[in-house]
Chains A and B, each alone.
Chain A
Amino acid sequence: MIARTASRREARVRNAVVIAIALAAINGCKREERRFDAEAPSAPAYAAVAQDTLQPGVPRPDIDVVNSAEKNAYDISEGKRLFEQWNCSGCHSHGGGGMGPPLMDDEWIYGSDPENIVATIVEGRPNGMPSFRARITNQQLWEIAAYVRSMAGLTPKAPSPGRDDDMQYKVDEQRTAAQPPRASASRGTPPKSEKP
């Protein structure tokens, strides 16, 4: 009798657990994958970004590029590691800016979309931003772009990095309030909402 009633109860418990797992699986997987292989779909190929919306005839529609690294905790933390180890802080100072513009505010000179940031890193920009073409792999590029957006609070909270083991110079990205990009503050590429 013990075995029968025990197994009935266990069946109920098991079903409840299976449902819980299914629900958690949807969200858990994306955040926690460790994609060591660069061929994974997390790294979209770099494509040219138009510098202006002025085009003959009808402008081509803008395509939304999704940087899946922004939902992945490992990728964003790799972006942070690379940002520090490759001395982006030398000009951008952990996001506060210095010789280079701040990255944690709402002003994005060349656009705040992931593909704009990637273009900035690959091509460089006038007056001091170096071009890292062929120096950084595709996956690393998108990881850094994801981290840059996390500095302005534009990535989901759960995968964004916590504090690191250094002197604390700012609030960690996980707790940074979102800074929606300010439309009027950008020159160069017009902000997304104004694109036809």
Chain B
Amino acid sequence: MTAQPVPAESAPRDVADESVHARLERVWANKPGLWGWITSVNHKSIALRSIITAFAFFALAGVEAALIRVQLARPENSLIGPDRYNQLFTVHGSTMMFLFAVPVVQSVALYLVPMMIGTRNVAFPRLNAFGYWTYLIGGVLLYVGLFTNTGPDQGWFSYPPLAGPEFSPGKRVDIWAQMITFTEIAAIVAAIEIIATVFKQRAPGMSLNRVPLFVWAMVIMSFMVLVAMPFVATASMMLAMDRLIATQFFNPAEGGDALLWQHLFWFFAHPEVYIIFIPALGMVSSIVATFSRRPVFGYTAMVLSMVSVAFLSFGLWVHHMFATPLPQTGQSFFTAASAMIAIPTGVQIFCWIATIWAGRPRFTTPMLFVVGFIALFTIGGLSGLMIAAVPVDLQLTDTFFLPGHIHYVLLGGMVFPLLGGVFYWFPKITGRMLSESLGKLSFWLLFVGVNLTFFPQLLLGMAGMPRRIYTYSADTGWGPLNMTSSVGAALLALGIIVLVVNIARALASEPNAGADPWGGETLEWAMSSPAPDYNFAYIPIVHGRSALWADTGPLEAVSGLREDRREVLETTMLDAEPDARHEHPDPTITPLLAAIAVGITLIWGIFDPIAFAVGGGLSFFALVAWGWPRREKPNTREIVETPQ
């Protein structure tokens, strides 16, 4: 039986009595004012704030990139000296990878996943708030560093011995290492939330084989985070210990090894780029389904492909180390693995093309960004094949070919789907539609901008220009391509500005988007826009893969959750049969206090190891306050089947 798409709808399909909505609103709303803002445990409040924070970091990193491009536009340019330049490219890379890319995809997940699976909040609301505050403190730490001339300058990959105590004096690298700790805590927290929520709080009837592809992508990404992030957190802690308390992890004279860092870091950092990429695949699936007016072709193949990519991505890390003295046969294995991961990625692209082929597409802005993603990401992937081959990599690694490649895959493979997602879900989040004409304008500016900026960089790499250099001489002949690339960067900036203008104008307009302006297939389109704090008045029952396309009219739902307390429905893991009712905590300040305690521990720890003892104690007290029981009644109640 096929699921037929429904037309766009302004009235929500989550139908309930006005008094029900009013009671739920009273129970689930944030407290008023600034206090309400900092004590909130609602997933949408926290996720939206996190998305805005991530885009703020994106803008800062964009400014850094603009400065880099201005400096490199002409040979022997004296705008920025080597010290400042090293700080700029290090903070640009670190911001984009740690403070923008992972947080934004996780925050989009934390916003949408509970709505898509039919629940009211994420599994651990206070932990969610803690994760956001930890992320914010880490990001602010990095930027306070940059603005006080203490910005890290050793590259975002921070290789010792350059990043070690002898060759990087001062506290710059320590600030970087602690920023990593903060952001990795936040990332692991978000991953735990997503996994627990998806496995235990799905709407009845949403068995695992009916879970939307977007949600699958987020779950898979979360498992990857749990495995990969501890590696970089450990490595950065080892580096911080080498610098502060004279451990010898990376000191070859005392039995350590500089290569140890590279293995630990790249074992994390290669899966990291797939952690960034897989959520984007989920977004593309959502957009392609809605705007092709049919479910994505090959559901099982799509899920298995994402799982394969997740597993395979952990077997590629040495392709960042081909120029090191590792045995050649071993290196060839990583060439093969890097080639192999192209197969499931290809399957995904073929399935989307098949969906469009058999669909009834509408080329709204989100769909344009998806087509742009296919065009740009494929260039990125194919340039990746150039550097996956050991012999060619030995010529191209550490040249400008690499920034060319990575920006094609990151901008084309993540930012374009993300922006498509912004246009797609903006009505759900704010209740207003973004302008289609401004959207198309920013799409074209960005599409041309990406190509104009980064294709010359692929050529520059082949012309022999190394990367991470603050200037180059005129007789290299690299000037014209660099100037072209810098002009492209200006186009990129313009595209982003048009997007910001679009958002600002939309926010100033009337909220009249309606519940389901696009006719989507997943549950978030069933409720009003913007969605209420409690998401659904009654938890819906799901009858098929495309939850909203299985039938029309008001959603069939379950009743019985309390409307005077915060309660969510827990269901079984495989088949989503109702299992228990779980009471959720009210808004509280304790997550912020715990984050501040952790912040004090880690930031003070940059200067003095006593911080870990004192701060550990503070954190302990904060956690006690967090967990202190507030009600005598049990907060999880079994659902007893009453015979009909």
Contact = CB atoms under 8 A, between A and B. Distances in A.
The short answer to whether A and B are in direct contact, CB under 8 Å, is yes
B251 interface: yes
B148 A3 contact: no
Interface stretch (A23-31, A60-68, A89-97): A23-31
Interface string B280-320: 00000000000000000000000000000000000000000
Interface string B503-515: 0100110000000
Contacts, number: 96
A76 B147 contact: no
A2 interface: yes
A125 interface: no
Given A29-B149, A168-B248, A2 B34 contact: no
A73 B52 contact: no
Contact of A162 (B83, B143, B244): B244
Contact of A163 (B143, B148, B150, B165): B165
B640 interface: no
A29 B148 contact: yes
B253 interface: yes
B172 interface: yes
A31 B607 CA distance: 13
Interface string A110-147: 00000000000000000000000000000000000000
B148 A167 contact: no
A73 B140 contact: no
B254 A32 contact: no
A3 B251 CA distance: 51
A127 B379 CA distance: 71
B246 A163 contact: yes
B172 A21 contact: no
A165 B253 contact: yes
Contacts of A171: 246
Nearest to B145: A28
Most central of B83, B164, B166 by chain A CB within 10 Å: B166
A161 B507 contact: no
A172 interface: yes
B245 A28 contact: no
B171 A73 contact: yes
Nearest first, the 7 closest Cβ-Cβ pairs linking A and B are A162-B165, A28-B148, A73-B170, A77-B169, A164-B166, A73-B169, A163-B246
Given A29-B148, A165-B253, 13 more contacts: A3-B507, A6-B52, A21-B144, A24-B144, A24-B150, A28-B145, A157-B608, A162-B242, A162-B243, A163-B248, A165-B252, A167-B253, A168-B251
12 contacts: A17-B143, A21-B148, A25-B147, A28-B149, A29-B148, A33-B149, A34-B83, A162-B243, A167-B253, A168-B248, A168-B251, A172-B165
